[in-house]
């Protein structure tokens, strides 16, 4: 759980870009003590993607930039948002993404976005 401007959140969706290739990676994070301020920081969170990890080892952490972060109060909505985002974008622009999966069949079909697209997090 983390607090931003007096509100409590427990998960976030993010989009990062590998500057040398121009490709992007989208994911979400939910963990007991996760915080979007730690994304792509030394000793912070650098995604669960093996592809991204290898690129960071090869090109350095500074080869990635954070394009967008959306924060959610509910981890299921963060995961659903990621799934819907990837299912659409991997179909339309597959060459643009480093993601290898669109979470197909893994998200919570009984849940609906209900207009909740998360709150944009101000990237510092």
Q: What is the pLDDT of residues 2-19, one digit of tens each?
A: 787 777 888 999 999 999
User: Which of 22, 4, 74, 18 minimizes the C-alpha distance to 47?
Assistant: 18
Determine contact, residues 79/73, Cβ cutoff 8 Å. no
Note down the domain range covering 59.
2-120
pLDDT tens-digit map of 27-75: 999 988 889 999 999 999 999 899 999 999 999 999 999 999 999 988 8
Phi-psi region of 114 (alpha: psi -120 to 50; beta: other; left: phi over 0): left
What SS3 class is residue 26?
Answer: strand
Total domains present in the chain: 1
Strand, helix or coil at 29?
A: strand
Could you tell me the pTM of the whole model? 0.85
């Amino acid at each position: 759980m983390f607090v931003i401007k007096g509100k409590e959140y427990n998960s976030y969706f993010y989009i990062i870009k590998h500057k040398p290739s121009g490709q992007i990676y989208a994911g979400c994070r939910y963990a007991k003590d996760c915080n979007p301020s730690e994304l792509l920081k030394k000793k912070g969170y650098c995604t669960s993607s093996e592809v991204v990890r290898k690129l960071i080892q090869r090109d350095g952490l500074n080869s990635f930039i954070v394009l967008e972060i959306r924060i959610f109060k509910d981890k299921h909505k963060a995961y659903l948002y990621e799934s819907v985002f990837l299912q659409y974008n991997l179909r339309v622009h597959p060459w643009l993404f480093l993601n290898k999966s669109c979470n197909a069949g893994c998200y919570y079909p009984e849940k609906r976005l209900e207009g909740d697209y998360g709150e944009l997090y101000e990237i510092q």
